[in-house]
Amino acid sequence: MNILLTGGAGYIGSHTAVVLAQAGHHVVLLDNLCNSQASVVTRIGRITGQAHPLEVCDVRETARVQHILRQYNIQAVVHFAGLKAVGESVQQPLAYFNANVSGAISLLEAMQAEGVRKLVFSSSATVYGQPQYLPLDEDHPTGAINPYGRTKLHIEEMLQDLAASDATWRIAILRYFNPVGAHESGLIGEDPSGTPNNLMPYIARVAAGKLPYLNVWGDDYATPDGTGVRDYIHVMDLAEGHRAALDYLNHSTLPCEVFNLGTGKGYSVLDMIQAFELATGKRIPFQVGPRRSGDVAACYADNQKAAMKLAWHAQHQLGQMCQSTWQFESGYL
C-alpha cells in the first residue's frame, strides 16, 4: 500500500516507517518538523535501503495535505502528528487543541475529499485517566485529566462519530502505553529537546552524565516498592502494531475500533533503574522526591484484543528496551 505517515519524522513515526517499508509498503512522510529533524529521513533510508519522500507540511494545511494524498496515490494514513507534552498542554491548551484537534479535522477533511478512508490514529493510555481496575481493557471508562489527554479523547470521539456517519471508513485507534527504546541500528530513537519529562530518556541522560541523578517521583504509592508502575513497550513492537492494524483494516468489517498496545506487564521506577543498570553496566544515581502531580500509581494494559484481532504480540523484553535506548543515547553505531 501507499501509506502517508503524518508526524513521520518523529519518534514513533520514524520506527513505524522502517517497519512498514520493510513489510513492502511505500511510505511517504509528512511533518512540519516542529519536534524532529529532516535528517531522520536519511537515517530511515539507511536502515531500509530505500529513499522515502518527506513533505515538510503542517497537517492543518488542508489543501496541501489533499494534494499530497493525490500526488502519491495514498491508500491509508497513520496519523502521528501532534503535540504530546502534558505539562506544556496545561500552560498552552489552545496550542494543543489547535495542533491536535484542528490538525485531525484538517487531515480527515482532506482524506474525505480524496476518498481515502483507512486511518490508524495515535492515541494514548492517558485517555483512561485514573484506573478503576487493572489491567486496563478497551472498555475501561475514559476520562482524561489534562488538556493533552482531552485532545486525544476529543479526536477519538470525532473518529467514532465520523465512522458512524459513513460506514466505509476503516479506522483503528491505537492506545499506546509507554513507548521506549530505539531501533537496533542506533540510527533512530527518542531525542527530546531540553530536559526530558519521561522516565526512560531521563535515565539515559543520567547514564550519559548529562544529568546528575534521577528524581524518583514518589515512593509511597500502593505498589510493591512504592514507586509508580507502568507498561513499557519497545517502540519496534509498537511499530509492528501499526503494521498489524493496517493489515487488519484491509479485511475488517467494522468502521472504527480501539486497541490497546502494551505488553500487559507493569514495571516500577526502581525496576527500570535496575534493568537499565543491568543492561548497560551504567550506574543510575537517584533521589526520591515528592509525587508528580497528575501521576497515577499503576497503569498497564490488557492486550488480549490486539492479540486476538491483530495477531500482534510484543516481542521485546525490558533488557532490550534499555540496551537500545542506551545505544541510541550514547551514539555508538
Binding footprint of ligand UD1 on the chain (CB under 6 A): 86, 124-126, 148, 178, 197-199, 202, 214-217, 228, 230, 269, 292, 294-295
Q: Report the nearest approach of ligand NAD to the CB of residue 68 (Å).
A: 11
CB atoms within 10 A of CB 289: 12
Q: Report the nearest approach of ligand NAD to the CB of residue 36 (Å).
A: 3
48 binds, among ligand NAD, ligand UD1, none (CB under 5 to 8 A by kind): none
The enclosing H or E element of 176 equals strand 170-176
Tell me whether strands 298-299 and 2-6 are parallel, antiparallel or unpaired. Answer: unpaired
Q: Which long-range contacts (CB under 8 A, 24 or more apart) does 292-297 make?
A: 292/217, 292/218, 294/86, 294/145, 294/146, 295/217, 295/218, 295/228, 296/130, 296/131, 296/228, 297/221, 297/222, 297/223, 297/228, 297/229
Binders of ligand NAD among residues 44 to 73 (CB under 6 A) are 58-60
Nearer to ligand NAD among residue 31 and residue 257 (C-beta) = 31
Instruction: Mark residues 2-31: x for contact with ligand NAD by CB under 6 A, - for none.
Output: ----xx-xxxxx-----------------x
3-class SS at 209?
coil
Pairwise CA distance, residues 244 & 248, whole Å: 6
Active-site hit among 11, 96, 128, 148: 148
Nearer to ligand NAD among residue 5 and residue 206 (C-beta) = 5
Nearer to ligand UD1 among residue 169 and residue 300 (C-beta) = 300
Does 328 bind ligand NAD (CB under 6 A)? Our answer is no
Does 84 bind ligand NAD (CB under 6 A)? Our answer is yes
Residue from 82, 135, 181, 262 touching ligand NAD (CB under 6 A): that is: 82
Does 255 bind ligand NAD (CB under 6 A)? Our answer is no
Chain-centre distance of CA 110, in angstroms? 23
| Residue nearest to ligand UD1 as judged by C-beta position | 228
176 is catalytic: no
DSSP alpha helices (H): ranges in the chain? 11-22, 39-48, 62-71, 86-91, 93-96, 103-114, 147-165, 199-207, 235-251, 269-280, 304-310, 318-330
The residues near 112 (Cβ < 8 Å, ≥ 6 apart) are none
Q: Report the nearest approach of ligand UD1 to the CB of residue 69 (Å).
A: 28
Does 147 bind ligand NAD (CB under 6 A)? Our answer is no
Tell me whether strands 54-56 and 286-289 are parallel, antiparallel or unpaired. Answer: unpaired
Q: Report the nearest approach of ligand UD1 to the CB of residue 274 (Å).
A: 14
Does 179 bind ligand NAD (CB under 6 A)? Our answer is yes
Q: How many residues bind ligand NAD (CB under 6 A)?
A: 27
- Point out the residues that are catalytic: 148
Residues of this chain that interact with ligand NAD (CB under 6 A) are 6-7, 9-13, 31-36, 58-60, 80-84, 99, 103, 122, 124, 176, 179
